């Protein structure tokens, strides 16, 4: 049944009005009587042991209500069960500049700021590690005592016989790629408001309510319970509107725990809102990743083996690190048919802010390397880059060598569409000098088949209640963070129930009211919460059907629910007196329905009086309104409620090897992109003119939303490709603000042509899969490949800043080298201080790997 009345139509977000008028409330808009402002004291050192903290001077300041430090909540926590290495406030050591030392709750921000100055902390400074390859060689002063060599986790996977396949390959490419660190830069800075109720019996703080900008209210509830040593039932987490997450709010962020700890001690509500600088320190973004990649292919361009060694610069704590490093390896599979895969992944601790999940979690940087290398193979084998991708397609349904089950697979159509729309065949290689086209593909999970909490409970549960006046209330734990999950849930419920969207009210992400959903991350919500909503709606619909069938004197199977009407199947939709040709109630029908209009019927609503009138004229009918069906069902059944849940099927949960839990998904999205760029050969500046982006999302439930997600992904990918980079010096983040951390502005945003491909997944809700992350990863290599097409230089390090591009151009032409390392003023010193390996400040830095692209591009520097 492809004839839907609600889904598949461009639909305005159900929360759009509040956001556009300013009436909508984000966490920082909230306040409570007696609310205090919390401010956090951050570490000035990248690695130091705390000898002593004296808060007495701060406590004595007028207006300060409480000062909290590590010992006020010493239980460790972390988002992963294997990574409980964080504390609300540090208890022994600080591990990055910006680590959380103490928090002041005071009557206003200025007082709290002043009080921070009065906290005396003595530190014993320890040797710090800024470069992951250096950090892995550490012999002492480990960042965490239980992590020798500062390796958080390493995995070594071998599927097939990679060495043999590489030895026999007709063509092998090998290179080191580096993707520098990027962060989410969500518009809304993190904010949390925590308030305890006074327990009526004890007079002490009792139940806790936390409003927070979070993607994961249930994880937050769980971690709060852990750290505060309270039962989860005593904690209520509410997610107000969230201004973007992108993964940066997909775990428990320090301020969320700190606000609760401070509120408990202060015995008053405490709100903490991060400054933009604090957002950068809280970070949890995409780690700087070093990828040594080797790919082999036969003479026809079929990939025979991939060997990857990946080192991720994870920062000071575990966060999602173990998952990130596993995704990097696992998602080498499931895009192309690769018979042999070897993967060595190292998640390394360094004394920098913590990396975590970011849009395209774990896959993006490796995909950049892989798709760049695939183009190199195509070049060597003289095969068109689009064609070599077509030759390596999977043949689903199948299970990849690393245990990933693939069912729906729209990649071939994605490639065809972008090739066709971009004029690839006619234009590739024929553009004017300095202009080029590049192609790349990517994919992503529609939620993880195994949840991080290792439990067999459903990943999503949804409850639906229908009221006597025909109002449908959906209780969902799904967290709308701007991606539109509330709208998706409303659409699915109203499609199944055959009622108009205006009837559906979504109550979401409030742990007291909504059943558990594990959160908005890894693109799981449409697939999993959508399926749970679908099932809940179907369940409650059964009650409506039974009642309506009785009323209408027909079999349940004969009933059709659509457009707020219940009709019989044998009456063709066009003939129904209740509907006009487009399936909506016709004006004629409304005007003849005298009772309803007299008693004040408005769309989606009916007044009680008219209902009572309607009930008088009972008897078999050919059609009923939705309200009549609801009233009948309530009369028959009592309460009208339904519940539905979703757990990924066993077959989709992956293999048995160590680390096999990460990567498997019930379904994968697919993306292919062509980027058109021009390169200024004198300046190295790259301009992206247009990106054609085809994305297989299974089915587009809300096409306008899918297009928005595709455009957003391309745009964010372009930021990482060209301008965004966190720059470090001695563990100091040099650009902790949106002026110097350069996300693209609207001026350089290219035209993006989103192309929706619908492969209709057998298990997705109405066939839908993910659409908000998978497109990002293709953008970076598509741009890189286009730069190669334009000017013949292969860039191995992102972002492709003008200086890096120019250095590569100069190296290619064997012209005067551009020194990317040092100041050039004659009065400037010849060496700068040690640093974390960033391009700007690469003075007396760590020795670079022989394959390090920066070393090749700029051998003249003072690197060694």
Partner 1 sequence: MSLPQFRLLRPRSVEEAVGYLATHASNIRVLAGGTDLIPSMRQKLFEPEYVLDVRRIAELQGIRPQRGVGVEIGVLTTLNAIEHSDFLRKHYPVLTEAAATVASPVLRNMGTIGGNICLDTRCLWYNQSLTWRKACGFCIKKNGDLCHVAPGGTKCWAVFSGDTPPALLCLNAEVEIASPSGARRLPLREFYTGIGDDYRKLQPNELLTRVFLPESSADYRGVYRKLRVRGSIDYPLAGVAVVVKRSDGHVSDARLALTAVNPAPVLVKGASAMLSGKTMTEELADKVGDLAARTAKPLTTSALTPEYRREMIRVFTRRAILAIANN
CB of 739 to partner 1, least distance (A): 7
Nearer to partner 1 (CB atom), residue 413 or residue 730: 730
CB of 682 to partner 1, least distance (A): 5
Q: How far is CA 364 from the centre of its chain?
A: 12
CB of 716 to partner 1, least distance (A): 15
Are 84 and 95 within 8 A, CB to CB? Answer: no
* Rounded Cα distance, 407 and 649, in Å: 13
* Rounded Cα distance, 38 and 446, in Å: 37
CB of 186 to partner 1, least distance (A): 18
Residue 443 DSSP SS3: strand
Sites of contact with partner 1 (CB under 8 A): 42-45, 97, 109-110, 113, 275, 277, 682-684, 723, 727, 730, 732, 734-736, 739-740, 742, 744-748, 801-803, 806, 818-825, 827-829, 832-833, 839-841
Nearer to partner 1 (CB atom), residue 21 or residue 746: 746
Residue 602 DSSP SS3: strand
Nearer to partner 1 (CB atom), residue 535 or residue 804: 804
**CA R_g for the chain:** 29
CB of 28 to partner 1, least distance (A): 14
CA neighbor of 508 nearest in space, from 527, 547, 538, 482: 482
CB of 827 to partner 1, least distance (A): 7
CA neighbor of 252 nearest in space, from 277, 287, 227: 227
* Rounded Cα distance, 492 and 488, in Å: 6
Nearer to partner 1 (CB atom), residue 72 or residue 857: 857
CB of 811 to partner 1, least distance (A): 14
CA neighbor of 459 nearest in space, from 751, 188, 218: 218
Are 74 and 91 within 8 A, CB to CB? Answer: yes
Nearer to partner 1 (CB atom), residue 368 or residue 841: 841
CB of 154 to partner 1, least distance (A): 31
Nearer to partner 1 (CB atom), residue 36 or residue 700: 36
CB of 719 to partner 1, least distance (A): 10
The strand order across the sheet containing 288-297 reads 151-159, 341-348, 303-313, 288-297, 171-179, 797-798
| Main-chain phi, psi angles of 82, to 5 degrees | -85, -5
Residue carrying structure tokens 């005592």: 145
**How many angstroms separate the Cα of 341 from the Cα of each of 156, 247, 336?**
11, 28, 12
End-to-end CA separation in angstroms for the chain: 66
Nearer to partner 1 (CB atom), residue 426 or residue 815: 815
Nearer to partner 1 (CB atom), residue 558 or residue 803: 803
CA neighbor of 628 nearest in space, from 607, 609, 614: 614
Nearer to partner 1 (CB atom), residue 146 or residue 746: 746
Q: What share of the chain is helix, strand, coil (3-state, %, to 5)?
A: 30, 25, 45
- With vertex at residue 173, the alpha carbon angle to CA 167 and CA 175, rounded to the nearest 5 degrees, is 120
DSSP string for 653-696? S--SSTTTTSS--S-EEEEEEEEEEEE-TTT--EEEEEEEEEEE
CB of 61 to partner 1, least distance (A): 15
Nearer to partner 1 (CB atom), residue 727 or residue 790: 727
């Amino acid at each position: 049944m492809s004839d839907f009345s609600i889904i598949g139509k461009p639909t305005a977000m159900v929360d759009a009005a509040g956001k556009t008028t300013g009436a909508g409330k984000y966490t920082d808009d909230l306040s409570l009587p007696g609310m205090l402002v919390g401010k956090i004291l951050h570490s000035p050192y990248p690695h130091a042991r705390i000898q002593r903290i004296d808060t007495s001077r701060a406590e004595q300041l007028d207006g300060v209500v409480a000062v909290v430090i590590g010992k006020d909540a010493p239980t460790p926590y972390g988002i992963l069960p294997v990574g409980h290495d964080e504390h609300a406030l540090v208890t022994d050591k600080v591990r990055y500049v910006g680590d959380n030392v103490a928090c002041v709750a005071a009557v206003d921000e200025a007082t709290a700021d002043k009080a921070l100055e009065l906290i005396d902390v003595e530190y014993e400074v320890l040797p710090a590690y800024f470069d992951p390859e250096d950090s892995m060689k550490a012999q002492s002063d480990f960042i965490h005592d239980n992590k020798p060599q500062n390796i958080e986790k390493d995995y070594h996977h071998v599927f097939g016989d990679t060495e043999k396949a590489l030895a026999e390959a007709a063509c092998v490419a090998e290179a080191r790629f580096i993707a520098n660190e990027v962060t989410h830069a969500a518009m809304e800075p993190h904010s949390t408001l925590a308030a305890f109720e006074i327990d009526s019996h004890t007079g002490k703080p009792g139940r806790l309510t936390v409003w927070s900008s979070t993607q994961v209210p249930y994880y937050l509830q769980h971690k709060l319970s852990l750290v505060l040593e309270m039962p989860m039932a005593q904690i209520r987490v509410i997610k107000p509107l969230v201004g973007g997450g992108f993964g940066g709010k997909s775990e428990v962020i320090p301020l969320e725990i700190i606000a609760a700890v401070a509120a408990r001690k202060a015995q008053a509500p405490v709100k903490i809102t991060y400054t933009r600088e604090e957002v950068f320190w809280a970070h949890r973004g995409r780690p700087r990743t070093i990828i040594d990649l080797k790919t082999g292919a036969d003479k026809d361009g079929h990939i025979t083996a991939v060997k990857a060694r990946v080192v991720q610069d994870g920062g000071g704590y575990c966060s999602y690190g173990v998952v990130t490093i596993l995704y990097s390896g696992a998602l080498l599979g499931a895009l192309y048919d690769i018979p042999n895969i070897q993967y060595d992944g190292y998640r390394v601790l360094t004394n920098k802010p913590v990396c975590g999940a970011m849009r395209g979690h774990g896959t993006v940087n490796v995909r950049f390397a892989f798709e760049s290398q695939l183009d190199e193979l195509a070049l060597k084998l003289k095969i068109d880059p689009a064609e070599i991708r077509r030759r390596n397609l999977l043949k689903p349904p199948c299970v990849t060598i690393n245990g990933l089950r693939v069912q729906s697979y729209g990649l071939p159509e994605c490639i065809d569409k972008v090739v066709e729309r971009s004029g690839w065949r006619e234009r590739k290689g024929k553009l004017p000098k300095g202009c080029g086209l590049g192609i790349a593909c990517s994919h992503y999970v529609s939620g993880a088949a195994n949840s991080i909490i290792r439990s067999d409970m459903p990943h999503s549960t949804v409850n639906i209640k229908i009221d006597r006046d025909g109002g449908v209330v959906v209780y969902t734990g799904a967290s709308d963070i701007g991606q539109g999950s509330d709208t998706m849930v409303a659409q699915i419920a109203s499609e199944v129930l055959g009622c108009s969207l205006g009837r559906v009210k979504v109550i979401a992400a409030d742990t007291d009211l909504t059943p558990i959903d594990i959160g908005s991350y890894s693109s799981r919500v449409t697939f999993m919460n959508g399926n749970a909503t679908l099932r809940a709606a179907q369940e409650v619909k059964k009650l409506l059907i039974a009642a309506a069938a009785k009323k209408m004197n027909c079999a349940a199977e004969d009933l059709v629910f659509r457009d707020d009407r219940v009709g019989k199947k044998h009456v063709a939709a066009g003939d129904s007196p209740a509907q006009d040709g487009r399936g909506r109630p016709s004006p004629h029908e409304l005007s003849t329905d005298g009772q309803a209009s007299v008693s004040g019927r408005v769309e989606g609503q009916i007044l009680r009086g008219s209902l009572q009138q309607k009930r008088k004229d009972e008897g078999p009918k050919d059609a009923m309104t939705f309200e009549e069906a609801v009233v009948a069902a309530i009369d028959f059944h009592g309460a009208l409620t339904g519940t539905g849940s979703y757990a990924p099927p066993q077959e989709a949960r992956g293999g048995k090897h160590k680390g096999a839990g990460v990567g498997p998904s019930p379904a994968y999205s697919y993306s292919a992109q062509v980027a058109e760029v021009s390169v200024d050969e004198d300046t190295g500046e790259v301009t992206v003119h247009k990106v054609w982006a085809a994305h297989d999302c299974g089915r587009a439930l809300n096409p306008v939303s899918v297009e928005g997600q595709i455009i957003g992904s391309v745009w964010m990918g372009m930021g990482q490709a060209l301008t965004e980079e966190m720059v470090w010096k001695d563990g100091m983040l040099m650009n902790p603000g949106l002026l110097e951390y350069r996300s693209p502005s609207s001026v350089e945003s290219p035209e993006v042509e989103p192309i929706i491909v619908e492969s209709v997944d057998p298990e997705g809700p109405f066939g839908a899969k993910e659409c908000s992350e998978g497109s990002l990863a293709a953008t970076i290599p598509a741009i890189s490949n286009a730069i190669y097409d334009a000017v013949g230089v292969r860039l191995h390090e992102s972002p492709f800043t003008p200086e890096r591009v120019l250095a590569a151009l100069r190296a290619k032409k064997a012209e005067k080298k551009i020194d990317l390392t040092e100041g050039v003023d004659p009065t400037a010193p010849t060496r700068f201080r040690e640093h974390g390996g960033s391009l700007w400040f690469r003075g007396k830095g760590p020795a670079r790997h022989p394959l390090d692209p920066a070393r090749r591009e700029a051998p003249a520097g003072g690197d060694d």
